[in-house]
Amino acid sequence: MAFTRLTKREIFFLGLLFCAIFSGSLRKWFLLPAFFNHGILGFQILLPWVFCLGFYPWNQSKIYKYLFTHWLILFILVLLPEGCGLFHSIFGFLLHGGFWTALFVFLANNKKVDWGKFYPVSLLILGLETILSIFQYALPVEHFINQYANFKAIGDIALMGESARVTGTFSYVSGLGSYILFMSFQLWFISLRPKFNPFILFFHEVCLSILALLNGSRAVIFAFILIGIVSRISRGWPRLINIYTVLVFSFILTSIILLPSFKKLLFQPFFNLSERVISNVDSGEQTSRFITPWKNMLFFSSEKEWFGYGLGCTYQGANEIWGISANMLRYGYFEEELERVLIEGGWVLLLFKLLFMILFIVLSNIPKWICGLLFVLILGYFPIVSNTYNSFFFLWGIISLSSQYEQKNRFFYT
């Protein structure tokens, strides 16, 4: 794809995509001043808000009244007394508001961008991330390309067997996990097109499979497999097995027979992941991770369960800079996003988020059951408030899917 074929608006969005993918490499591989690192982190928080600028000038639409209602609710929660402080509240407003603001701005301006133009660049970056991740997995854990941003404060590298769980160009393991899901959405997106190159799609699937395996996140692997199945169904069952699958399988089988070292290289990641999964199942963690988000929501109880302790009070970045409030120290341990939402804004905030999810499901072009399933996954297992990567990549993925389903529906009815 020639960059000259992109409009200024599309170049703007491509720049945001580059920032989301490569900003983490600046934070973890270069000795930058602390204020610069904080600036990069701050820009990542602002990405969904900056995303909205790409649609300017905005179309007139009745959708904005829902958006202003969302802002009003957040603003009221910011003004409530006994919050965690002004700066925590500002961070909380930006984190809770960015994803939904960008999503509803898109709904009002959904015909301004051809999201398919970004796919060739996305595919090139996917190939580069895969190569980098293979090197990260093969190199010693202590090698500099395996370190995290703010590595001195964290200290330990997440392992799978004796190898590092790969991060690609991202700051942490979860960042690459978000990117894998983003590219899973892109696979789904391109599968919906009337014409596609099966070799390109096969290459896309192979790269994503490698990244998901080496990243080692069970939730990401589950979501990738689920999205992969849906994307293949959208292409039609007769195409589930093609000549490229047969050729790659033949190559792997021949290599295993002729090259014993290749066998270890190929199967060791599977053994490491299996060992990790079995260990978590035996300890009960696997079941706990599946049930805990919903259990914490249903049995949530606190002194301020209706309006919460204040927006931003659970955000780690704000707590590192401005300190943890006494209320949070008294509340104790928390981890899952559902619980964080209830802690910050209480049942009021959670109920309004559920209403906005239902509203988007009604207004979006994505089939209702698929859209509902996506939001169940996001609500329970893929945080979009506390994880800025998830916020941006899920936003782009859902928007591109909605746009492509609209084109598909228009093609079908004409």
How many CA within 13 A on the CB side of residue 48?
30
| Average pLDDT over all residues of the chain | 82
How far is residue 51's CA from residue 293's CA, in Å, rounded to a whole number?
29
- The pLDDT assigned to 146 comes to 85
Note whether residue 291 is domain-resident.
no
Note whether residue 117 is domain-resident.
no
Average pLDDT rounded to a whole number, residues 106-128: 91
Residues 107 and 173 placed together within one structural domain of the fold: no
Average pLDDT rounded to a whole number, residues 57-69: 88
Q: Which helix (H) or strand (E) holds 163?
A: strand 163-164
- The pLDDT assigned to 238 comes to 45
* Residues 331 and 302: beta-carbon distance below 8 Å: yes
How many CA within 13 A on the CB side of residue 22?
10
Residues 62 and 6 placed together within one structural domain of the fold: yes
CA distances from 200 to 36, 177, 197, 235 (A): 38, 22, 5, 14
Residues 341 and 403 placed together within one structural domain of the fold: yes
Note whether residue 236 is domain-resident.
yes
How far is residue 296's CA from residue 292's CA, in Å, rounded to a whole number?
6
- β-strand partners of 59: none
Note whether residue 202 is domain-resident.
yes
Distance between alpha carbon 306 and the CA centroid of its chain, in Å? 28
Residues 2 and 145 placed together within one structural domain of the fold: no
Whole domain around residue 407: which residue ranges?
1-112+298-414
How many CA within 13 A on the CB side of residue 389?
22
Residues 105 and 150 placed together within one structural domain of the fold: no
The 10s digit of each residue's pLDDT in 67-77 is: 899 999 999 98
Residues whose CB falls within 8 Å of the CB of residue 173, separated by 6 or more in sequence, listed in order: 158, 165, 166, 167, 215, 216, 217
Last residue of a domain, one of 283, 318, 337: 283
**Residues 140, 145, 146, 149: is their CA dihedral positive or negative?**
positive
Note whether residue 414 is domain-resident.
yes
Q: Is the pLDDT of residue 241 over 60?
A: no
Choose between 183 and 276: higher pLDDT: 183
Residues 255 and 331 placed together within one structural domain of the fold: no
Last residue of a domain, one of 254, 283, 312: 283
Residues 247 and 348 placed together within one structural domain of the fold: no
Note whether residue 355 is domain-resident.
yes
| Distance in angstroms between the alpha carbons of the first and the last residue of the chain | 29
Q: Is the pLDDT of residue 1 over 50?
A: no
Residues 80 and 200 placed together within one structural domain of the fold: no
Last residue of a domain, one of 225, 252, 283: 283
* Residues 133 and 176: beta-carbon distance below 8 Å: yes
Residues 331 and 221 placed together within one structural domain of the fold: no
Number of other residues whose CB lies within 10 A of the CB of residue 265: 14
Q: Is the pLDDT of residue 136 over 60?
A: yes
Residues 170 and 222 placed together within one structural domain of the fold: yes
Question: Got the DSSP string for 109-160?
Answer: TTTS--GGGGHHHHHHHHHHHHHHHHHHHHS-TTSGGGPPTTHHHH----EE
Block residue for tokens 């925590």 = 88
Q: Is the pLDDT of residue 14 over 90?
A: yes
Note whether residue 69 is domain-resident.
yes
Give this prediction's pTM.
0.87
Q: Among residues of the chain, what percentage have pLDDT more than 90?
A: 25
Residues 197 and 337 placed together within one structural domain of the fold: no
How far is residue 137's CA from residue 214's CA, in Å, rounded to a whole number?
7
How far is residue 72's CA from residue 47's CA, in Å, rounded to a whole number?
21
Average pLDDT rounded to a whole number, residues 210-217: 87
Note whether residue 15 is domain-resident.
yes
Helix H, strand E, coil C: the string for 328-378 is HHHHCCCCCHHHHHHHHHHHHHHHHHHHHHHHHHHHCCCCHHHHHHHHHHH
Number of domains in the chain: 2
The 10s digit of each residue's pLDDT in 358-413 is: 999 998 888 888 888 888 888 888 888 888 899 999 999 999 998 888 877 665 54
